[in-house]
Amino acid sequence: MGQIITQVDAFTNTPFAGNPAAVCVLPTPQDECWMQNIAQEMNLSETAFLVRQDDGFNLRWFTPTVEVPLCGHATLASAHVLWSEGHLSPDKVARFYTKSGVLIAKLQGDWIELDFPVNHSQTAIAPEELKQALGVPYKSLLQNSLGYLVELESEELVRQIQPNFQLLKTLPISDVIVTSLTDSNSQYDFVSRFFAPGLGINEDPVTGAAHCCLASFWRDRLHKNEFLAYQASSRGGVVKVYYDGGDRVFLAGQAVTVLRGELFTAST
């Protein structure tokens, strides 16, 4: 039997929305080149690879072009697969050992809660080419380890922005979160989008790692700890955010399995 691979739509309870991730629960560790080839073949924003350890799972994430140190939606998808496919009892916490430290996932009713490190942003001065690449005026600009965090004037601008990705890719920092407050009649506190041509993804549909940055950004401005956020990509997704000012952010989302298949290519 070949390697089972499951595709999950994360940060949504509706198929064909949210952010799709492929998940492989491996019987043994595999060669990095093989995992990168599988991620390229799947051609999703991330493919997750898990290997069981004594009290949890080693977890790595690959885009079609590179390995990344942190990925929210593929972690959520991984936890969903562990519980739904019988690798882990639903009453057990999912513990992941990653390049960003130990990450925890808990099943809370229909939602999966993730315990992630916060990612603070600092004021930055962007090159003029960034303004040209975004093509819209912005209210404020910061920088963090994920890239730039750009606050726009309105929800409408966030939804309508169409960056020049060719120009964006030429910049030393080419990955950008754009965000704004929502309109007054919205059920959400803020909206965002994430453009990541530097990672081989022009736009990521729903990004947990971006909300590790957005949590502290909006807490400082809105003076509250809990948020309901919407990532306004064409697929769209909902993220519950809790951040009390410490070093951890709690993100919650839903997930649905849309595809399960078998890889026939030989592993190492």
Question: Under 8 Å CB-to-CB from 250, ≥6 apart: which residues?
Answer: 113, 114, 115, 116, 241, 242, 243
Are residues 268 and 26 in contact, defined by beta-carbon separation less than 8 angstroms? no
Answer yes or no: are the C-beta atoms of 257 and 16 closer than 8 Å.
no
**Which among 46, 113, 151, 155 is annotated as catalytic?**
46
Any catalytic annotation for residue 41? no
**Amino acid letter at 198?**
G
Q: Which two tokens stand for residue 13?
A: 């309870």
Contact in structure between 129 and 170 (CB atoms under 8 Å): yes
Report the SS3 class of residue 243. Answer: coil
Distance CA 176, CA 165 (A): 11
Residue positions annotated with a catalytic role: 46
